[in-house]
Chains A and B, each alone.
Chain A
Amino acid sequence: MTTLEAAADAARDNLAALESEAIHIFREVAGEFDRPVILFSGGKDSTLLLHLAIKAFWPAPVPFPLLHVDTGHNFDEVIAFRDHVVEKYGLRLVVASVQDYIDDGRLAERADGTRNPLQTQPLLDAIADNKFDAVFGGGRRDEERARAKERIFSLRSAFGQWDPRRQRPELWNLYNGRHRPGEHVRVFPLSNFTEADVWNYIAREQVELPSIYYAHKRKVYSRDGMWLTEGPWGGPREDEEVHELMVRYRTVGDGSCTGAVESTASTVEEVIAEVQASRLTERGATRADDRMSEAAMEDRKREGYF
């Protein structure tokens, strides 16, 4: 066996183990909870999450609805993709709309126009209103230092809050989903995937993604070292020059704070090559919300963010 073949074998084994782990987690939740829901943004991690859920229950349909926390700052391609997926698999979609909260005054637009921090309240209300008791998220431990400490079953208080000191020890594959009325459990089946694993698995399984993950021509302007695009969240200021570049997105979030990267990678194989060569983490490269403070993610997790 050549070195290359050995490496390819190793990668296959690794993905098979991660897949079995994720499927086991989905089935545990289906067996132990009354009202689970999958958080679904149309981004690659939540799309992968849904793909694994479909495999876990095949040939039966996925026994959970989807929940989209809609910031109103969307990429059209992603919303079209979301609706296409819901239709294709006959799923039920619940939408929690940040725009509704702003319109009726329950939330106020921030001075910087960013809406990611505003997602927490609509998310928690949707969980409470629908009595969801288990909420699947696409979070991965390799994303960020606070997430590295996250359990696969993460208990949240009635206020949706995460208390690192109250996290339960998690032993073997024996997950403890006990919770009191009003509390819920966030569940992270992709915990042990890395960004490279996600892309390799997407390639292996030929998982369909929104088109903005692949290189396309787009009018962008530079702000805080990121390429932002015009949208309902606003556009370039007078001093910001608009360029037309070949770009793609590495993450999909609120359009006002999700940046594109210059790229010519138009296939999943080219994206994998690019990810391997990249010297920036996906969040560091493209997410203003994680740059706000060194402990930004820890603070938002405590408040009940994903």
Chain B
Amino acid sequence: MSSLLRLATAGSVDDGKSTLVGRLLYDTKSVLADQLDAIERASVDKGMTTPDLSLLVDGLRSEREQGITIDVAYRYFATPNRSFVLADTPGHVQYTRNTVTGASTAQLGVLLVDARNGVVEQTRRHAAVLAMLGVPRLVLAVNKVDLIDYDEAAFTVIAKEFAAHATSLGYAEGTVLAIPVSALQGDNVATKSENTPWYSGPTLLEHLEEVPVAPDPHEAPFRMPVQYVIRPRTPEYLDYRGYAGQIAAGTVRPGDEVVVLPQGLKSTVESVDTADGSLDEAGTGKSITVVLSDDLDITRGDVIAAADNAPKVTDEFTAALCWLSSKQLDPGARVLVKQGTRTVQAIVEELNARFDEQTLSIVDAPEKLELNEIGNVSLRLAEQLPVDDYTVSPRTGAFIVIDPKDGDTLAAGLVGHRFSQLKGVTEPEGA
């Protein structure tokens, strides 16, 4: 079982997400005495009688003043069996881009709804974004069950509606769980509630501890973008030439046949090095230095891949874009694409479609993409790039779009992603 779970939380304004996250920190004893003293003082100042746990996580003064969360915040808690990195993403409509940011590395998404309101537009939108990014598992935390008198029937209606939506997005049975909770009272967060005898499932924390983390894609073919060429030129390592990188997919062993892209040069792995010694095998996520048996001209930006299952090398592809900037995207725009360790110039040739994640429908050939919109575009690149489809190999199918003028990050890109891959999406008529 992997010991580190990366999760993202998302919810609408006032669903009590900060309180839920504060509750998780509090109940796992991740809150220390001085922090608790500080929030108790602040709560009393605000005229409250119990500590306001949301104050533990509302970080910036501008947020505390407005009572909202304006940016992704990262929280850490641990139990004896697992450490958790929680990306706490804000629920304001104008900050949906942060959900994409928080969810890009998440292995599990926790969506929060207010039991009195049930599944709302934001819930559907967030679930669609998580599905598109390939977050493998979802939890629906139906919060404030205390305010509906712990009513089983009302909870079941919400759970069923969400399950249907998740299924339509392609989530298989067993990957989605709804839990009745009260972040304020602590029901079913870390301790099983006596108020919901009809609920036999795990508490939120139990589920987070036990949920299988998506297995490392050991089956996936090896991919490693070269970050840096290590050439010590010291007497001891006079001829050493190693290619440093983090394994994006698959595993590598000495003796493996590899191909270096985009050049297409073939070679064999001589050793897999780290500062702690050479390895017999290294898997996804490990930072290593690869030494090849041939003297090749390899630089930052190249990709070392399994020779028998290499990515395609191309200077044009279609991709889904989550547009994250207030500057709109027009057809013909010149941008930079950073994929792996290479940044290349690109032209957005066509806007093929816009995905309405609310109605799960597709709008053909939009005139532009605006902040928080998701679209499908055709890109032409100034150089050949080795790319995989995002759904096959996320880390080599992911890219960011950068504004060449001011360096802003404009969009998150998913190579080859078509919205019709999400089941239940209506293709436009005539498509």
A and B: interacting chains: yes
| Cβ-defined contact, A176 with B338, below 8 A | yes
B81 cross-chain contacts in A, Cβ below 8 A? 6-7, 10
A284 within 8 A of B: yes
| Cβ-defined contact, A19 with B287, below 8 A | yes
B419 within 8 A of A: no
| Cβ-defined contact, B74 with A60, below 8 A | no
| Cβ-defined contact, A60 with B61, below 8 A | no
| Cβ-defined contact, A281 with B74, below 8 A | no
A279 within 8 A of B: yes
| Cβ-defined contact, A57 with B230, below 8 A | yes
Q: How near does chain B come to A18, taking the closest CB pair, in angstroms? A: 8
| Cβ-defined contact, B300 with A170, below 8 A | no
| Cβ-defined contact, B274 with A55, below 8 A | yes
Q: How far is the CA of A298 from the CA of B83 in the complex (A)?
A: 27
B399 cross-chain contacts in A, Cβ below 8 A? 174
B388 within 8 A of A: no
B276 cross-chain contacts in A, Cβ below 8 A? 55
A19 cross-chain contacts in B, Cβ below 8 A? 287
| Cβ-defined contact, A14 with B407, below 8 A | no
The chain B residue sitting closest to A285, CB to CB, is B34
The chain B residue sitting closest to A20, CB to CB, is B287
B395 cross-chain contacts in A, Cβ below 8 A? 172-173
B296 within 8 A of A: no
A146 cross-chain contacts in B, Cβ below 8 A? 59-60
B341 within 8 A of A: yes
| Cβ-defined contact, A149 with B230, below 8 A | no
A23 within 8 A of B: yes
| Cβ-defined contact, B227 with A192, below 8 A | no
Q: How near does chain A come to B53, taking the closest CB pair, in angstroms? A: 13
Q: How far is the CA of A145 from the CA of B324 in the complex (A)?
A: 25
A54 within 8 A of B: yes
A292 within 8 A of B: no
Q: How near does chain B come to A174, taking the closest CB pair, in angstroms? A: 5
B73 within 8 A of A: yes
Q: How far is the CA of A3 from the CA of B60 in the complex (A)?
A: 39
Residue from the set A10, A191, A196 with the largest chain B CB neighbour count within 10 Å: A10
B246 cross-chain contacts in A, Cβ below 8 A? 20, 23-24, 27, 173
| Cβ-defined contact, A141 with B76, below 8 A | yes
Which of B275, B287, B300 meets A31, CB within 8 Å?
Answer: B300
Say yes or no: A149-B72 contact (C-beta < 8 A), given A23-B287, A192-B85: yes
A295 within 8 A of B: yes
- Bits for B54-91, please: 1 = Cβ < 8 Å to A, else 0: 00111111100000001111111010111101000000
Q: How far is the CA of A180 from the CA of B405 in the complex (A)?
A: 10
Q: How near does chain B come to A288, taking the closest CB pair, in angstroms? A: 13
B58 cross-chain contacts in A, Cβ below 8 A? 145
| Cβ-defined contact, A60 with B230, below 8 A | yes
Which of A14, A56, A169 meets B4, CB within 8 Å?
Answer: A14
The chain A residue sitting closest to B399, CB to CB, is A174
Q: How far is the CA of A81 from the CA of B79 in the complex (A)?
A: 35
Which B residues from 91 to 111 make CB contacts under 8 A with A? 97-98, 100-101, 104-105
Which of B3, B59, B73 meets A9, CB within 8 Å?
Answer: B3
The chain B residue sitting closest to A61, CB to CB, is B232
A280 within 8 A of B: yes
| Cβ-defined contact, A56 with B35, below 8 A | no
A164 within 8 A of B: yes
- Bits for B369-390, please: 1 = Cβ < 8 Å to A, else 0: 0000000000000000000000
A6 cross-chain contacts in B, Cβ below 8 A? 1, 81
Q: How near does chain B come to A127, taking the closest CB pair, in angstroms? A: 18
Q: How far is the CA of A191 from the CA of B409 in the complex (A)?
A: 20
Q: How near does chain B come to A212, taking the closest CB pair, in angstroms? A: 22
Say yes or no: A178-B407 contact (C-beta < 8 A), given A60-B230, A295-B61: yes
The chain B residue sitting closest to A293, CB to CB, is B61
B245 within 8 A of A: yes
Q: How near does chain A come to B341, taking the closest CB pair, in angstroms? A: 7
| Cβ-defined contact, A148 with B402, below 8 A | no
| Cβ-defined contact, B227 with A28, below 8 A | yes
B429 within 8 A of A: no
Q: How near does chain B come to A187, taking the closest CB pair, in angstroms? A: 14
B83 cross-chain contacts in A, Cβ below 8 A? 10, 14, 194, 197
Q: How far is the CA of A281 from the CA of B38 in the complex (A)?
A: 12
Q: How far is the CA of A21 from the CA of B284 in the complex (A)?
A: 12
- Bits for A24-43, please: 1 = Cβ < 8 Å to B, else 0: 10011011000000000000
A59 within 8 A of B: yes
Which of A14, A145, A179 meets B3, CB within 8 Å?
Answer: A14
The chain A residue sitting closest to B59, CB to CB, is A145
B173 within 8 A of A: no
B172 within 8 A of A: no
- Bits for A265-284, please: 1 = Cβ < 8 Å to B, else 0: 00000000000001111001
B237 cross-chain contacts in A, Cβ below 8 A? 59-60
Say yes or no: A174-B400 contact (C-beta < 8 A), given A31-B227, A141-B76, A281-B32: yes
- Bits for A172-202, please: 1 = Cβ < 8 Å to B, else 0: 1110101110000000000110101100000
B333 cross-chain contacts in A, Cβ below 8 A? none
| Cβ-defined contact, A280 with B73, below 8 A | no
| Cβ-defined contact, A172 with B60, below 8 A | no
B181 within 8 A of A: no
| Cβ-defined contact, B412 with A280, below 8 A | no
A237 within 8 A of B: no
| Cβ-defined contact, B101 with A196, below 8 A | no
Q: How far is the CA of A141 from the CA of B30 in the complex (A)?
A: 14
Q: List 23 A-B contacts (CB under 8 A).
A: A7-B81, A9-B3, A10-B80, A19-B287, A23-B287, A24-B227, A27-B244, A54-B275, A146-B59, A165-B70, A168-B409, A169-B98, A169-B101, A169-B412, A172-B104, A172-B394, A172-B400, A174-B398, A174-B399, A192-B74, A281-B32, A294-B38, A298-B61
Q: Which residues of B contact A (CB under 8 A)?
A: 1-4, 32-35, 38, 42, 56-62, 70-76, 78, 80-83, 85, 97-98, 100-101, 104-105, 227-228, 230-234, 236-237, 240, 244-246, 274-276, 285-287, 289, 300, 324, 338-339, 341, 394-395, 398-400, 402, 406-409, 412
Apart from the given pairs A16-B286, A179-B407, 14 other A-B contacts in the complex at a CB distance below 8 Å: A12-B3, A14-B4, A24-B246, A27-B228, A30-B227, A58-B289, A141-B73, A145-B73, A148-B73, A149-B72, A168-B408, A176-B409, A178-B407, A194-B76
Q: Which residues of A contact B (CB under 8 A)?
A: 3, 6-7, 9-14, 16-17, 19-21, 23-24, 27-28, 30-31, 54-61, 141-142, 145-146, 148-149, 164-165, 167-174, 176, 178-180, 191-192, 194, 196-197, 278-281, 284-285, 294-295, 298
8 pairs of A and B residues whose beta carbons are closest in the complex: A178-B407, A10-B3, A284-B34, A145-B59, A58-B275, A23-B287, A55-B275, A60-B232
